[in-house]
Structure 1
Amino acid sequence: MENRTDNYSILELGSFENLSKKEAVGRKGKLFLADVLGLTGCEVSLNRLSAGQGVPFVHAHKKNEELYIIIKGTGTFFIDGSEFSVQEGSVIRIAPGGERSWKADDQDLYFICIQAQEGSLTQCSAQDGIRVPTKVSWMNQS
């Protein structure tokens, strides 16, 4: 299910196992969210790599750094000639020029990848967020 308004977008994917039904750029288990949600400042993909499978190429980027957040499973990442293990809770940032690839171990590997142009972050949430007087159901209404 997808819902979009001027101020928000929602995609109800359900269980991450549902990624097995998705395909992008010739890869099963991948869903890019920019077009689906109308993202304008970053690209986010939800990913499922089947047990024992690996990305069949090494790549780098021209402008975008990537942030990988491993949410389930174990695997091996290759970055600039180094190989290292990843598991649930691993968070990896790769600069655009970093040569990268990865594979799943003996179980499916689920991860989120966030791409944004390197150097484009001008402020973080603490500096950007503003409080508004609106109250919601779980807040004290007095």
Structure 2
Amino acid sequence: MTKTFPLEILIAEDDQLITELQKRQLVKLVDSPLKTFWNGKELMNYLQGVIDERNAILIFLDINMPVMGGWEVLDQINELYAYKNIFVVMLTSSVYPADREKALSYPQVISFNDKFLDQEDYKAILSLKTIRPFFNSEIFSE
């Protein structure tokens, strides 16, 4: 039985296959519509329109995207919405430790992961203490 998840969940990823894999894993765990964005500019335009209406937003964010990449998105979120409940999970194929350090230096970033997550990885992310207060109840199936 899947429970409700009051966070809005957004996926910003330019690879359609990875986006579909992410959505398939997440719909098994949460009862929430998932919105997807092909690039960071689309994501930021969306955020601008809804940020004041949302309690919290969880973003699965790719570092390298066309038009506006993940680093630019993080800079804008940090500048424009520093005091909002926005939580970012960076997803990347980068193997550079400097990318991990840079991502985790942003207060909104709660996790830095490889793009290819399995269900247990998603469960671990969704169980992080920083986002748990935004759950109505337990999210995982019994």
Q: Which has the larger radius of gyration?
A: 1
Which of the two has greater strand per residue? 1
TM-score, normalised relative to structure 1: 0.29
Select the structure that is richer in helix: 2
Scaled by the length of structure 2, what TM-score is found?
0.29
